[in-house]
Amino acid sequence: MKTVHQAARGGLRAFTAGLQHDFLHAGGFLVLGAAAAATFSIVVPRSVLDLFTGSPWPSVPLLALLAVVLCVCSEADAFVAASLSGFSPTARLAFMVVGPMVDLKLIALQAGTFGRSFALRFSSVTWVVAVASSVLVGWWLL
């Protein structure tokens, strides 16, 4: 029979093992997001971004499409969005909302599971709803 002290020590080991696993798992995605943000900032010329940062209407769909193409994890979206400081807060919100809901790997997974026609319809509707929700919330709160 285990004593209370032995049970507490076992619980502490389980807690630290879980903490270590979650920290390393999330940390990897954070590093990936930071690398994606740095790469995007270096590769895309500032003159190209300036075409879209002047007006909020083209910047929202641009960042929503960028979220689909980049396919970064939702844990890393904040790093990428923070690096896009020239864009409006609503456009960055759209990036962070659309990214976890619609990206290339999810579309491929859905096409393989449910068929290509379903995946295209579902991802299109999801993208439109996510962008519209982001615009409404951004207009209301930001």
Looking at residue 76, its pLDDT comes to 75
Vertex 68 angle, CA 42 and 46, to 5°: 25
User: When comparing pLDDT for 104 and 27, which is higher?
Assistant: 104
Query: Which tokens hold the place of 13?
Result: 């080991």
User: When comparing pLDDT for 5 and 89, which is higher?
Assistant: 89
Strands (E), the chain: none
Condensed to tens digits (0 to 9), the pLDDT of residues 16-69 reads: 888 888 787 777 777 776 777 778 778 888 787 778 787 778 899 999 998 998
Condensed to tens digits (0 to 9), the pLDDT of residues 117-130 reads: 999 999 999 999 99
Count of alpha carbons within 13 Å of 66, Cβ hemisphere only?
Answer: 23
Q: Where are the domains of the chain?
A: 4-141
Looking at residue 41, its pLDDT comes to 74
